[in-house]
Every structure is written in structure tokens, then in C-alpha cells.
């Protein structure tokens, strides 16, 4: 049984996960494509940096902002800086998400973007925003401990 | 260590001790006697008291032991067997007018007092008086592990009894 | 209104898995004026525990008796001083007066945000199953403001998308159109 499952995972363009170490979407995307496409860059905010940010006075004094940031552990932005057609990158990203439907469920979409969520019970542990705006491609990837309120706060 | 002052160190504990004594003896008059005896005894041991961690915990231990003694004596007199874990305490006094007024609160009060002594005492200490696991272990002269296990049992039994009542309708 | 959080807390309460803060939340919730019907049965339980903790039967007479017994002089301001002292021993449900004033909706909102904090303390580590060490900052420690600006831009972008999404997928298979 285990062997068959493992084979299946390999077939499914794996998000290779061990018990403790999961890779988030942005990291996986970079692993898959940054080798061939040197225009791809990923900017990272680590859990440590998030803490520093929250301690900033302007955040301390803004309850809503504080509440939002506290639920985020990491923030990553993947962009393509260059000539690669943005549409191409966008489609690759969407394909990756669709291939991993057990992890990423489509939450919202419009013409130029799609938002996927990875949840554990009621908690959103990852939010993936794949964006194609004005011919610029980017993935904004949040991980953390986000609740339904988080979505509300972000969108109002 | 500061000298123990009866008025300021011991007397203020009176109601907390009374509540514990009442929970154990289920009798107002007994509870008051126990409280009195506890304070007197604590006062007699004030030299020892100066050295303890928590005067309150120490007094509550005395209180419980005295209350248990009283109960034993009384039970022996009435020749009642306390092997049945669910006590019938229909005559348990209501120490507060709020409890008098409210039918639902009376039910809960009865329910609490029907639990075996150890379990209702733990609920009294942990949930009603808000004592920590550590303090409760001190007062009951148990290990902290034992306190946790007993507390868990108490809540489980409480829940069972509670749901029994609710299902019979109020 | 979804009371799943309270229901979960209650389950954990019976199992003695709740922290003091979580129990404060249960107390605050159940001592509101309006408790939802399916949880109403527990209202009296939590009320009882609070009331029972405040029972003060022994008064001045008891004091007088005791002071005599231990051979102390009774002074006029004894009882008053003792009562002040007794009140200073804090009640465990410190949040109580604060919550009492709030309407039930406000309480649920407050509980929501407090709940977040508690979740963060307890289960967060296991639920968030990524590796902290695998994230290398693109901004240095002295660039926290830039990092903040960067993050806010990103969050804004997500926010805008959420706001004008043509379709929002709800948990089950249904979709609802805005």
C-alpha cells in the first residue's frame, strides 16, 4: 500500500513532504522552474522578520494590522523579471496548484488572478495568490495560522 | 519572616475556609464550627505558619482534615455507609440568596454536592476557588499528577450527572 | 453564528485540557444574557461556579467571636479592614466585569480574537508544518521598514483581489456569486 502511494506521489509532480517539513507553494514553484527560467526571483519574509515588523510602532498602534500580521508566519513573493511571457508563468503556477488539489483548494478567482488555500480544519495554513496583472506575473504566498477573520480583515 | 497576625493574616480566610468546609460537610453549622476550629488551630501553630509557603494552603489543609473528621464522626453516629459513590444530599444548605432564588442554580448545587467528597472538593478548589494544580496538590496532600487525574474524573462525572438531569427536563 | 469554537472549548473543558484563559472565555460566554439555545443548558453550571465562589456567609459576628477566642482586642475598624483585605484576594475570573458589559455579539467578536491568540500559543506549532529555517530573509535586519512596506503591498494586492472576486468558493462544492 505504501509503495503504491509513493509511486503516485512521484507521478503527481510532488510537493515532497516529510512529517515535519512541508514546502510552501512559492518554494516548490522556484524549485521546479527557477533552474530553467533565470528571470524568476523570490523575495522572502521569514518568521523572524515578521516578528520584527510586528514590533514596529506603526503596527503596534494599529490593532487591525497587528491582528493581520500576527496570523502570518511567512510571506513570499515570486516574480518574473524579464522577457518570459507572464501568461506562461501564470499558467504554470495554476497547473501546479491544480495538480495538488488535495492540498490547495481554489478559494476565489477573477480574470487575472486565482487564490488557493491550504487548510487544516478551520485554519488556513497557506494562502496562494497567483496574479497576472498588466502583463506582470507574481505569486504571493502566505503561510501561517490564519482564520476566517483574517480573510475578512484583508478584504475590507 | 513576619509575625503572623490573626486579624490580618488568618481571619480574612474565613469565608474561603467556610466554603470548603461546607462543601465537605454539607452542613452549615458544622462548616462554621470547622472554620472556627481551623482558625484556632492555625493560630496555635502560628510559629510553624511563619515558615510555610502559603498560609492559605496550610489552613485549607487543616480545614479539610477537620471537616473530614467531623463527617466521619457524624456518619458513624448515623451508621451510614459511604460506599455508594453518589451521595444523597437533599438537605444540603444553600448558603446564598442567589442560590435560593434560582431553581436552576439549586439543581447544579445539588448536583455538585452529590458527587463523592474527593471529587467535589477538587471542583471546589480548582474550579470554584481557582486554585492552581500546585496549590491544590498542597492542600489535598496529593501529587500534582493525582490532582489532574482526579479533576478529570470529577469533570467527567459532573458532565454525566449534568446531562442526566437535563435529559429529564427541568 | 457559528459557535464551533465554544463547542470545541467545551469538549476540551470536560477533558480538563483547557487553560485558565480558555476557561475564562467559557465563563464569559456562558454568563452572558443571551446564550444560544443549544448551549443554554450549561449556563447554570458556569453561573453556579461563579456564584459559589463569592459566598460570604461569615460576617461581623463571627469575627467578634473569633477575636475573643484568640484573646485579641476588638477594635472598631477591624471588620472593615478585614473586608478590604478579603476583597483584594482576586477572583479567578478577572475578565468577568469587562465582559459583562458587552452585548452578546461583542462577546463573540472578542472571543474570536482571543481565540486566535490561544490557538497561536497551543496548536500553532504542529499545524504550521513548514520549516522556519528554510526561510532566508531577503531584507536585512536594518531593513525592517522596507520589509514592512513590501509586505503591506502584497497584502493589499491580495485584499483587492478578494474584494472584487467574481466568484468565491465556499467550503463545500457550492459556489456563491457576489
Q: What is the pLDDT of residues B57-88, one digit of tens each?
A: 999 999 999 999 998 887 777 655 444 444 44
Query: How many other C-beta atoms are found inside a 10 Å radius of the C-beta of residue B45?
Result: 15
Instruction: Tell me the β-bridge partners of A77.
Output: A43, A140
Query: With an 8 Å Cβ cutoff, is A53 touching chain C?
Result: yes
Which helix (DSSP H) or strand (DSSP E) does residue B4 occupy? none
Cell numbers standing for residue B47: 510559629
Helix axis angle for C20-30 and C43-53, nearest 10°, is 110
Q: Does residue A154 have a pLDDT over 60?
A: yes
In this structure, is the dihedral angle defined by the CA atoms of residues C142, C145, C148 and C152, taken in order, positive or negative?
Answer: negative
CB atoms A108 and C147 under 8 Å: no
List subunits contacting chain B, requiring 3 or more Cβ pairs under 8 Å.
C
C48: chain B residues, CB-CB within 8 Å: 99, 105, 108-109, 112
Quick one: which of B29, B24, B26 has its CA closest to B65? Answer: B24
Answer whether residue C96 shows pLDDT above 80.
no
Question: C130 and A21 in contact by Cβ < 8 A?
Answer: yes
Which chain B residues are Cβ-neighbours of C52 within 8 angstroms? Answer: 19, 96, 99, 109, 112, 124, 128
Q: What is the band of B167 on the pLDDT scale with cuts at 50, 70, 90?
A: low
Fold assignment, B1-82: Rna Polymerase Sigma Factor; Chain: A (1.10.1740)
Domain spans in chain B, listed from the N-terminal domain onward:
1-82, 91-170
For chain A, which domains are there? Answer: 22-155 (3.30.310)
The answer to whether residue B112 scores a pLDDT higher than 90 is: yes
Residue B101: per-residue pLDDT: 67
The string of DSSP letters for C43-90 reads: HHHHHHHHHHHT-----HHHHHHHHHHTTPPP-TTHHHHHHHHHHHS-
Reduced to 3 states (helix: H, G, I; strand: E, B; else coil), residue A124 is strand
> How many angstroms separate the CA of residue B106 from the nearest CA in chain C?
9
DSSP state of C130: B
Looking at the complex, does the CB of residue A48 fall below 8 Å from at least one CB of chain C? yes
- Using CB atoms within 10 Å of the CB of residue B96, give its burial: 0 to 12 exposed, 13 to 18 middle, 19+ buried: middle
Residue B86, Cβ density class (10 Å: 0-12 exposed, 13-18 middle, ≥19 buried): exposed
**For residue A114, pLDDT beyond 90:** yes
Architecture of domain B91-170: Orthogonal Bundle (1.10)
The mean of the pLDDT values for chain B is 85
pLDDT at C112 over 90: no
| Chain C residues in contact with B40 (beta carbon < 8 A) | 66, 69-70
Residue to test with chain B: of C57, C65, C87, most B Cβ within 10 A: C57
pLDDT of B21 above 60: yes
The grid coordinates listed for B85 are 459513590
Q: How large is the average pLDDT for residues A74-95? A: 86
Q: Which residue has the cell 513573493?
A: A77
Query: What mean pLDDT value characterizes chain C?
Result: 72
Q: Do B11 and C53 touch (CB under 8 A)?
A: no
According to DSSP, the residues that pair with A41 across neighbouring strands are: A79
Report the residue of A18, A42, A46, A117 to disrupt the C interface, i.e. the one with the largest count of C CBs within 10 Å: A46
Tell me which chain B residues have a C-beta less than 8 angstroms from the C-beta of C69. 36, 40
Chain B, 25-64: which have a CB under 8 Å from a chain C CB?
Answer: 28, 32, 35-36, 39-40, 43
Contact C163 A155 (CB under 8 A): yes
Look at C137 and A143 and tell me if their CB atoms are within 8 Å: no
Q: Does A61 touch chain C (CB under 8 A)?
A: no
List strand residue ranges (DSSP E) for A10-56, in order: 40-45
CA distance C167 to A110: 7
Lowest-pLDDT range of A64-78, B59-73, C27-41, C105-119: C105-119
Is B128 an interface residue toward C (CB < 8 Å)?
yes
- Give the percent of chain C with pLDDT over 90: 25
For the segment C134-146, the average pLDDT, to the nearest whole number, is 91
| Nearest in space to C154 (alpha carbons), one of A84, A63, A24, A43 | A43
Going by C-beta distance under 8 Å and a sequence separation of 6 or more, which residues neighbour residue B115? B86, B87, B123, B154, B157, B158, B161
Decide if pLDDT at C77 tops 70.
no
C93 confidence band (pLDDT: 50, 70, 90): very low
CB A107 within 8 A of CB A154: no
- Does the structure show a pLDDT above 90 at C16? yes
**CA atoms C96, C101, C103, C109: torsion sign:** negative
Of the partner residues A22, A42, A70, the one whose CB lies closest to the CB of residue C129? A22
Residue A136 clears pLDDT 50, i.e. is over it: yes
| Subunits with 3+ C-beta pairs closer than 8 A to A | C
- Interchain CB contact of B127 with C (< 8 Å): yes
* Touch of A by C (3+ CB pairs closer than 8 Å): yes
Using a cut of 0.90, tell me whether the model's pTM lies above it.
Answer: no
Residue of B3, B4, B15 to mutate, testing the C interface (most C Cβ within 10 Å of its Cβ): B15
Whether residues B105 and C48 touch (CB distance < 8 A) is answered with: yes
CB contact under 8 A, A44 and C138: yes
**Sorting pLDDT into bands at 50, 70 and 90, what band is B162?**
confident
Contact criterion met (CB below 8 Å) for B157 and B149? no
The neighbour count for residue B89, using CB atoms within 10 Å, is: 17
Q: Kindly calculate the radius of gyration of chain B based on its CA atoms and give it in whole angstroms.
A: 17
Which of A14-23, A120-129, B34-43 is predicted with the least confidence, judged by mean pLDDT? A14-23
Output the CA torsion sign for A81, A83, A84, A90.
positive
Closest among C38, C81, C90, C36 to C63, alpha carbons compared: C81
Interface probe with B: pick from C44, C64, C74, C84, most Cβ of B within 10 Å:
C44
| B91 secondary structure, DSSP code | T
* CB-count exposure of residue C37 (10 Å: 0-12, 13-18, 19+): exposed
Q: Touching check for B129 and chain C: CB below 8 Å? A: yes
Amino acid at each position: 500500500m505504501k509503495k503504491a502511494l509513493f509511486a503516485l506521489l512521484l507521478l503527481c509532480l510532488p510537493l515532497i513532504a516529510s512529517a515535519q517539513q512541508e514546502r510552501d507553494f512559492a518554494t516548490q514553484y522556484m524549485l521546479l522552474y527557477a533552474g530553467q527560467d533565470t528571470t524568476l526571483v523570490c523575495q522572502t519574509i521569514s518568521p523572524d522578520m515578521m516578528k520584527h515588523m510586528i514590533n514596529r510602532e506603526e503596527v503596534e498602534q494599529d490593532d487591525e494590522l497587528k491582528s493581520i500580521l500576527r496570523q502570518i508566519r511567512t510571506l513570499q513573493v515570486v516574480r518574473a523579471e524579464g522577457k518570459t511571457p507572464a501568461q506562461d508563468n501564470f499558467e504554470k503556477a495554476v497547473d501546479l496548484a491544480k495538480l495538488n488539489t488535495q492540498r490547495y483548494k481554489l478559494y476565489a478567482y477573477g480574470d487575472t488572478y486565482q487564490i488557493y488555500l491550504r487548510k487544516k480544519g478551520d485554519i488556513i495554513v497557506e494562502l496562494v495568490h497567483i496574479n497576472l496583472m498588466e502583463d506582470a506575473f507574481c505569486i504571493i504566498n502566505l503561510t501561517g495560522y490564519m482564520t476566517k477573520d483574517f480573510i475578512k480583515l484583508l478584504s475590507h | 519572616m513576619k509575625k503572623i497576625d490573626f486579624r490580618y493574616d488568618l481571619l480574612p480566610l474565613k469565608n474561603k475556609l467556610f466554603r470548603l468546609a461546607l462543601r465537605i460537610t454539607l452542613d452549615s453549622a458544622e462548616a462554621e464550627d470547622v472554620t472556627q476550629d481551623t482558625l484556632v488551630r492555625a493560630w496555635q501553630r502560628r510559629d510553624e505558619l511563619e515558615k510555610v509557603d502559603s498560609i492559605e494552603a496550610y489552613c485549607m489543609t487543616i480545614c479539610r482534615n477537620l471537616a473530614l473528621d467531623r463527617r466521619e464522626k457524624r456518619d458513624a453516629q448515623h451508621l451510614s455507609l459511604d460506599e455508594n459513590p453518589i451521595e444523597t444530599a437533599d438537605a444540603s444548605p444553600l448558603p446564598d440568596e442567589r442560590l435560593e432564588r434560582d431553581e436552576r442554580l439549586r439543581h447544579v448545587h445539588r448536583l455538585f454536592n452529590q458527587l463523592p467528597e474527593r471529587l467535589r472538593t477538587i471542583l471546589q478548589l480548582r474550579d470554584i476557588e481557582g486554585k492552581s494544580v500546585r496549590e491544590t496538590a498542597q492542600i489535598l496532600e496529593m501529587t500534582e499528577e493525582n490532582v489532574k487525574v482526579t479533576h478529570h474524573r470529577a469533570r467527567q462525572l459532573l458532565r454525566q450527572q449534568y446531562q442526566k438531569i437535563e435529559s429529564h427536563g427541568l | 453564528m457559528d459557535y464551533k469554537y465554544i463547542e470545541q472549548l467545551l469538549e476540551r473543558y470536560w477533558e480538563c485540557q483547557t487553560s485558565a484563559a480558555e476557561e475564562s472565555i467559557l465563563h464569559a460566554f456562558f454568563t452572558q444574557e443571551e446564550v444560544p439555545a443549544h448551549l443554554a443548558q450549561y449556563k447554570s453550571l458556569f453561573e453556579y461556579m461563579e456564584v459559589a465562589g463569592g459566598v460570604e456567609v461569615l460576617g461581623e459576628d463571627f469575627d467578634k467571636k473569633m477575636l475573643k477566642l484568640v484573646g485579641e482586642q476588638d477594635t472598631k475598624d477591624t471588620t472593615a479592614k478585614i473586608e478590604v483585605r478579603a476583597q483584594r484576594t482576586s477572583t479567578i475570573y478577572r475578565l468577568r466585569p469587562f465582559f459583562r458589559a458587552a452585548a452578546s455579539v461583542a462577546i463573540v467578536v472578542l472571543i474570536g480574537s482571543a481565540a486566535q491568540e490561544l490557538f497561536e500559543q497551543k496548536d500553532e506549532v504542529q499545524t504550521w508544518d513548514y520549516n522556519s529555517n528554510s526561510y532566508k530573509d531577503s531584507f536585512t535586519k536594518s531593513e525592517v521598514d522596507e520589509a514592512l512596506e513590501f509586505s503591506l503591498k502584497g497584502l493589499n494586492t491580495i485584499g483587492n483581489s478578494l474584494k472584487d472576486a467574481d466568484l468565491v468558493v465556499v467550503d463545500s462544492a457550492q459556489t456563491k456569486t457576489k
